[in-house]
Amino acid sequence: MRWVNPLSAPLAVFAASVLLLLGLRFLDLSIWIALPVALVVAFGLAPFFQAKPPTANPELARELEAAKQRALELSTKADSFYAEATKLLTAPGQVEALGIVQYARSRVQDLPTRVAQLADRFEGSGSLLALDDLREQLQGVEAKASKSSGVARTQFVQLADSLRRNIRLAQEGQDARVAQVTSLNTLILDTAGTLQAMQNRLRTTDLPQVKELQSLDEQLTAFSESVDLLVGDPGLAPAAKTTQDRRSFLTSLGIAGAAVALTFAPIPGTQRTLVIVSGTELQEPLQALKIQFEKIHPELRLDLQFQGSQDIVNKFIDDKNDFNPAVIIPANGQILKELEARWRAQNSSDPFYNAPKPITKTLLVAIAWPERGKVLFPDGRFRWDRLEAALKAKNWANFSGNASWGSFDFVITDPTRSNSGQLTLGLFAQSKSGSLSIATLNDQSASDLIALVKRSVYQPPRSTDVLLQEFIARGPNEADIAIVYESIALHRWSQSTTTQGKPYQIYYLDPTVETVSTAAIVRRSIDERTAQSARTFLDFLTQSEQQATFVRYGFRPVNGDVPNVSDSPWQKNIPGAESKLSVHTLPIFEPEILTEIKRLWERSN
């Protein structure tokens, strides 16, 4: 099979385009499957659908071949005639005669090219010559005839007659091209005869009359002009073919362009949905950013789902979601490492498209209702030992507090479902021994501590923002102190005044732990095209404008300090809030430490 450029075969391009459209838009195939298949189809079908030459006409081919041969023979003959002339016409008075022969030779030498041009033109046209072309030729020939005289005029009149016959043939639906070639053959034969006459005159006369040669040359000029008229504009024949090629090329490009547009551009009512599952701490900024993103990318719709960070892992691994997430954003990257390890243990494959990408970060803080915080932390600094003592005391009355405050209520999230609960227990345990390892976690003091916390906290929520929302909505009667993220504590701070008539106080844990919300694009049920949309979304989130939005919601940017963003919570004089941290910050704990914390929590009674 010969190799054909598919762009010269619009039908092949059309078939491939339909396939691409169906594959990507409706069958949700990966672009890495749909595109190669479409290319194979385009190249495979191109030879069959290429713009075909006009229906072959054997008589035309024969006539063209004969004309070609005659033109070549005549060209050779003209060369030998000129060589002979250069030997014969050596006297000084014969230079003009030699010039006439040279001129005649050049005209004859042009004939094979003109025949080839006509052949090309016929190949590029339909089986029938266009009547308009023939009429145009006739007009040209008649114009020449009217301005000519003598032999030339006779020649043009004959050619005009020949063209009128060809027009008639074309009008009758017959192939006028054969007649045109016949006319050309006649002209070649006439040219050969004239050249022969010129040669005879040279051979038989010692001193040929320049006038005689000039007359023969006039005949040759008339034949040559007739040939030009018959063949048409020298540039026309190849151009006609190029025009058709260009038309095919442009048609193919148009089809391919339309297919790409239909495949990738949004069709009204056919938005692509990207399901994002995030920890609840990002709920409010993501909901705000969703509006901006969908404005910029109307072809994409974000379906935001929020779960506790550990739930994100568990529900993904156990396939318990009633949606297919494309992007998951737990509160820290270690949770993604855990997910990856669990996924690989079950599937031996990579769960993510790309390396997980940090989005924004925050750290763990404590919040307390002010009058209770003052009793708990008299010097205004958070202390784990004071918290432990209060938990052991159970009631405020046993802890130098107001008896009417009732029981001492410490709230954290469920460590088996949420990141902040795990980190809280890790920091609490570390405060006992000064370091944190699986060994220190299994010290009696750490185990006792975890058991104490488990006995004290009541119905720990699945996620940190749910915890904070209820901390505010239910007020001091339900909870005295909570461990939450700095981001949401800052962002929701004013709500506590609205709902409870008083704001809570923020306390920085020392050391605290930094948690970086990290996004991964998952592979399960997500095709490349969706993954590409997900990359677009993640790139959007990490641009400086969006990072500023995160800062407005109390998050810290992934790189560097809190920038000077207008309306950021650090500009609202929130009691206890620090834009530049005075406490030591630890990186997130290793996955095995977090796993051990969960295990100890589940084991505690």
Partner 1 sequence: MRNRKYFAVLLTALFLASCSSDAPADFSGFQVELRVGSALGDFCKAAIAKFNAQSPKLANGQPFQATCNPEGSGDVVTSVTTLANQLKSGTIKADDPQFPTLISVDGEIYQSQLIYQIDQLFPGQNYIPAITDAPLIANSPMVLMAQPDVAKGLQKVADPYKALVTAKTHQDIDPAGPALTVHYVQTAPTRSNSGLQTLVAQFASVSGKRPEDLSVADVQRYQADIQKVQSKVTRYGASTNSLAKAMVKNGPYWATVGSVYESSVIAANSTLPTDQTRYQAVYPKSTFSSNMRIILPNAPWVSADEKAAAKQIIDFLRTPETQKIATELGLRPGVPGVPLGDKFTAAYGVLPEPKYDSYRPPSPAVVSAMLTSWLSFAKKSSLVVVVVDSSGSMEGDKIAAVQRTLQTYVDTLGPKDQIALIDFDTEIREPVVIDGTPQGRARGQQFISNLQAEGGTHLYDAAIFARNWLRGHLRKEAINAVLILTDGNDEGSAISLEALGEELKKSGFSTDERISFFTVGYGNDGDFNKSALTQIAELNGGYFAPGNPETINRLMADLQVEF
Residues engaged in binding partner 1 (CB under 8 A): 273, 303, 322, 404-407, 409, 458-462, 466, 468-470, 472-478, 492, 494-496, 498-501
Token look-up 């309306």 returns 567
State the minimum distance, in angstroms, from the CB of residue 470 to partner 1: 6
Closer to partner 1 by CB, 308 or 333: give it.
308
State the minimum distance, in angstroms, from the CB of residue 394 to partner 1: 10
State the minimum distance, in angstroms, from the CB of residue 292 to partner 1: 20
Q: Is-contact 491 280, C-beta < 8 A? A: no
Closer to partner 1 by CB, 68 or 462: give it.
462
Task: Mark out the alpha helices in 269-332 (DSSP H runs).
Answer: 283-296, 309-317
Closer to partner 1 by CB, 96 or 478: give it.
478
Separation of alpha carbons 230 and 500, rounded Å: 100
Measured CA to CA in angstroms, residue 35 lies from 26, 72, 266 at distances of: 14, 50, 19
Closer to partner 1 by CB, 76 or 395: give it.
395
Structure tokens at 134: 């023939």
Closer to partner 1 by CB, 318 or 385: give it.
318
State the minimum distance, in angstroms, from the CB of residue 377 to partner 1: 21
Q: Is-contact 123 241, C-beta < 8 A? A: yes
State the minimum distance, in angstroms, from the CB of residue 373 to partner 1: 16
State the minimum distance, in angstroms, from the CB of residue 569 to partner 1: 14
Separation of alpha carbons 133 and 135, rounded Å: 5
**Amino acid at residue number 239:** A
State the minimum distance, in angstroms, from the CB of residue 320 to partner 1: 9
Separation of alpha carbons 161 and 180, rounded Å: 12
**Across the chain, which distance is largest between two alpha carbons, in Å?**
146
Closer to partner 1 by CB, 462 or 556: give it.
462
Structure tokens at 188: 């070649």
Q: Is-contact 147 211, C-beta < 8 A? A: no
Closer to partner 1 by CB, 162 or 505: give it.
505
Structure tokens at 263: 């495949």
Separation of alpha carbons 177 and 163, rounded Å: 11
State the minimum distance, in angstroms, from the CB of residue 462 to partner 1: 6
CB neighbours of residue 58 within 10 Å: 7
Q: Is-contact 373 481, C-beta < 8 A? A: yes
Closer to partner 1 by CB, 348 or 498: give it.
498
Separation of alpha carbons 8 and 47, rounded Å: 9
Closer to partner 1 by CB, 326 or 472: give it.
472
State the minimum distance, in angstroms, from the CB of residue 472 to partner 1: 4
State the minimum distance, in angstroms, from the CB of residue 486 to partner 1: 17
Q: At what angle do helices 444-456 and 419-433 cross, to 10 degrees?
A: 140
Closer to partner 1 by CB, 182 or 496: give it.
496
The per-type count for the chain, helices as H runs and strands as E runs, is 24, 9
Pairing mode, strands 327-329 and 272-279: parallel
Pairing mode, strands 585-586 and 512-521: parallel
3-state secondary structure of 276: strand
